[in-house]
Amino acid sequence: MGAYLSEPVTEKHSEEGELYSLAFGASAMQGWRRSMEDEHIAVKLDVPPEAGGLQGQSSEVCMFAVWDGHGGHEVAKFVKNHMANELTKLNEYQQGDVEGALVKVFHRMDDMLWTDAGVEELNSYKSRPSPQGEGDARGSAGRGGADADSQSTKQMLDFFFQHLMESQGPKTGADQEGESEEEAAATGTPSSSVDDIGLPRLRAADVGRNTGLALRASTIGTEDDEEAEGKDRADGKDEEDEKGGEPTPGSKDEGKEPEDKAEADSASFPRSRTPNVCTLPNVKVTAGCTSVVSLVVGMRLYVANAGDSRAVLCRGGQALAMSEDHKPMDERELSRIEKVGGFVNPAGRVNGNLNLSRSLGDLKYKQSPVSPAEQMITAEPDVKHVDLQPDDEFMILACDGIWDCLSNQEAVDFVRSRLAEGKSPKEISEECCDHCLSEDPRKTTGIGGDNMTMMVVVFSQG
């Protein structure tokens, strides 16, 4: 069935434990995807004795994190294996500057990926089966088997749904998922028949500053799209070079568009006249991952986020967003992307490919002669912190496979009601994965067809 398995892999890789006074549980499920690309961690961190407790708060520091990979599982796995250790080695961390340390360690991951040792380690992960299920079968169908009609249908529908989203007002955190267009098949409809597609579902949204209902962007594709971004075809061309789209200068179709229509389109998409072909040189590291990382330092909670995985705190039964999804169409993201020569197409994809604007890895988009924070796709995280209060009950960390299906408040309600029944964080995380799993992702426009990872960290039972 194209980009999906014939049946979902529902085996879960779960864990639970206690770090100091914090109980946690996590579960990861491959689902309908042909490989598992998520990673997560829960670990105590060392505190230098001379620090006397970070920022004078506590000598008890815990790290919880979820990484959602795209283009392969190798970058997420690399980050899981290195981030905690690299964090504790930073001067900022040792001097008690937690926020500065979190920002620096995100960029440190990219620095390590640029090295020969980093590339060698990634290649070693590629040669192994993916962490769960049937392994990475991205190349099983070959690169030449795509239906050209399905690709053009996907482009047409991406453009159509973008118009719908524009008319709905502010976009939700699910408008763009943290993956490349080549991977969009795994959250879309593999069939080339429009009859199989249907309309995208409406979902509640309460992430960051956005509220209300909005249409989720459709990501329709074929299994041919799932190859990791940046990998060359047999003829040496990138997939981005073959996407078609607007006429190139000097082509026989150039200038045929009626002037009034061009003006109308320009009003709807003022930047849509940007060239829709990515010309960035390829690099050895083509995969990437989102990163949502939480540090609990005594009674202070820090969250650093790059991408569209998410952290949510339950405070007195209400969802408090501790992170904000990074979407290419947001003004500050778009401004940064365009400043270094990139573009975002009407479907919200950077250079016509990635539909997130911040990540670890994705080094193809990090070659400009500017600072790491100013790169087209940047690892620069937003960092938030709150002082924990008596009515702070638990925190949820999850990838977009969960957040595509549940709003922040829905997830909080799901967890809270089950904690009240005496269920453990691990059991609840497992139940949530099952709850979000689609019976058939072809009928839900990919909703419920993604990898799923959820972690619940309990502060108090209220």
272: helix, strand or coil? coil
Q: What is the pLDDT of residue 453?
A: 99
Domain that holds residue 103: 9-133+289-328+365-458
242 pLDDT tier (thresholds 50, 70, 90):
very low
Q: What is the pLDDT of residue 126?
A: 86
Would you say residue 208 has pLDDT above 70?
no
197 vs 180: CA distance, rounded Å: 20
- What residue type is assigned to position 370 of the chain? V
In a domain? residue 260:
no
CB–CB of 356/328 below 8 Å? yes
In a domain? residue 279:
no
3 pLDDT tier (thresholds 50, 70, 90):
confident
For the chain, the 3-state helix, strand and coil shares in percent, each to the nearest 5, are 30, 20, 45
10 vs 430: CA distance, rounded Å: 10
Q: Where are the alpha helices (DSSP H) in 61-128?
A: 74-89, 91-94, 98-114, 116-126
Among 86-95, 214-223, 293-302, 413-422, the range scoring the smallest mean pLDDT is 214-223
Would you say residue 262 has pLDDT above 80?
no
Count how many Cα atoms sit within 13 Å of the Cα of residue 295 in the half-sphere of its side chain. 29
CB–CB of 67/39 below 8 Å? yes
Per-residue CA distances from 434 to 10, 324, 444, 451 (Å) = 8, 25, 15, 11
User: Rg for the chain (alpha carbons), in Å?
Assistant: 21
Separate counts of helices (H) and strands (E) for the chain? 10, 15
In a domain? residue 430:
yes
266 pLDDT tier (thresholds 50, 70, 90):
very low
pLDDT digits (tens, 9 = 90+) for 324-340: 999 999 999 999 999 99
- The mean per-residue pLDDT over the stretch 1-5 comes to 69
Q: Comparing 88 with 161, which gets the higher pLDDT?
A: 88
Query: 364 — phi, psi (to 5°)?
Result: -55, -30
Would you say residue 322 has pLDDT above 90?
yes
pLDDT, averaged across the chain: 76
pLDDT digits (tens, 9 = 90+) for 143-177: 233 333 333 344 444 444 444 444 444 333 333 34
Q: Using CA atoms in the order 188, 190, 193, 198, what is the torsion angle rounded to 10 degrees?
A: -30
In a domain? residue 444:
yes
In a domain? residue 186:
no
- The mean per-residue pLDDT over the stretch 214-241 comes to 35
461 pLDDT tier (thresholds 50, 70, 90):
low
The domain that contains 384 carries what CATH number? 3.60.40.10
- Total structural domains within the chain: 1
Q: What is the pLDDT of residue 180?
A: 52
Q: What is the pLDDT of residue 53?
A: 52
In a domain? residue 190:
no
Would you say residue 91 has pLDDT above 80?
yes
What percentage of the chain has pLDDT greater than the value 90?
59
- The mean per-residue pLDDT over the stretch 32-58 comes to 79
Q: What is the pLDDT of residue 297?
A: 92
Count CB-CB contacts under 10 A for residue 23.
17
CB–CB of 206/176 below 8 Å? no
In a domain? residue 15:
yes
50 pLDDT tier (thresholds 50, 70, 90):
low
Count CB-CB contacts under 10 A for residue 234.
8
Count CB-CB contacts under 10 A for residue 289.
32
Does the pTM of the predicted model rise above 0.75? no
Query: Does residue 72 come out as left (phi exceeding 0), alpha (psi in the -120 to 50 range) or beta?
Result: left
Span between the terminal Cα atoms of the chain, in Å = 46
225 pLDDT tier (thresholds 50, 70, 90):
very low
Cross-strand partners of 63: 43, 295
Q: What is the pLDDT of residue 47?
A: 81
Q: Comparing 14 with 258, which gets the higher pLDDT?
A: 14
Which residue pairs from 140-147 have beta carbons closer than 8 angstroms and sit at least 24 positions apart in sequence? 140/34, 141/223, 141/224, 143/224, 143/227, 143/233, 143/234, 144/234, 145/223, 145/224, 146/222, 146/223, 146/224, 146/225, 147/192, 147/222
Kindly give, in sequence order, each residue whose CB lies less than 8 Å from that of residue 199, ignoring residues fewer than 6 positions away: 445
Which residue pairs from 264-268 have beta carbons closer than 8 angstroms and sit at least 24 positions apart in sequence? 268/163, 268/166
pLDDT digits (tens, 9 = 90+) for 24-38: 999 999 999 999 999
Q: Comparing 134 with 324, which gets the higher pLDDT?
A: 324
Would you say residue 345 has pLDDT above 90?
yes
Would you say residue 199 has pLDDT above 50?
no
Q: What is the pLDDT of residue 55?
A: 52
Q: What is the pLDDT of residue 200?
A: 34
Q: What is the pLDDT of residue 59?
A: 74
In a domain? residue 121:
yes
